[in-house]
């Protein structure tokens, strides 16, 4: 198999894994579904990333050999120290500053 075929096979395997996860998820109560919403969204992002990029043959094959590569990748992501919350906070602050500037500009034109 060439690189493209290996990556397509991996993506299909991971999509199947996500479909199974989704079936399980929709069988839960609405409250439990909300509890898993972040995980579902990140798993979808992982799949989207694989649609745009190809792994090297040996790496794609290694993930293909895993029972649940999507879950394994998500678990690793979940344990990473990311700056996600810092980015959220920076966005909140920047929006507040921009809104404050717009308010000041509106008051000056009146």
Please tell me the distance from the alpha carbon of residue 110 to that of residue 108, in angstroms, as a whole number. Answer: 6
Contact in structure between 7 and 55 (CB atoms under 8 Å): yes
Q: What's this model's pTM, rounded to 2 decimal places?
A: 0.80
Contact in structure between 55 and 63 (CB atoms under 8 Å): yes
Per residue of the chain (110 residues), give pLDDT as tens: 899 999 999 999 999 999 999 999 999 999 999 999 999 999 999 999 999 999 999 999 999 999 999 999 999 999 887 788 889 899 999 999 999 999 998 888 87
pLDDT of residue 80: 85
pLDDT of residue 11: 97
pLDDT of residue 6: 95
Please tell me the distance from the alpha carbon of residue 60 to that of residue 5, in angstroms, as a whole number. Answer: 10
């Amino acid at each position: 198999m060439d690189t493209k075929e290996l990556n397509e096979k991996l993506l299909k395997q991971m999509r199947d894994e996500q479909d199974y996860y989704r079936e399980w998820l929709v069988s839960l109560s609405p409250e439990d579904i909300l509890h898993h919403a972040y995980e579902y969204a990140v798993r979808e992002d992982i799949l989207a990333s694989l649609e745009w990029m190809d792994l090297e043959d040996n790496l794609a094959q290694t993930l293909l050999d895993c029972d649940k590569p999507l879950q394994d990748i998500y678990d690793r992501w979940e344990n990473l120290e990311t700056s996600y919350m810092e980015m959220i906070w920076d966005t909140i602050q920047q929006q507040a500053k921009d809104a404050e500037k717009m308010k000041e500009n509106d008051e000056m034109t009146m």
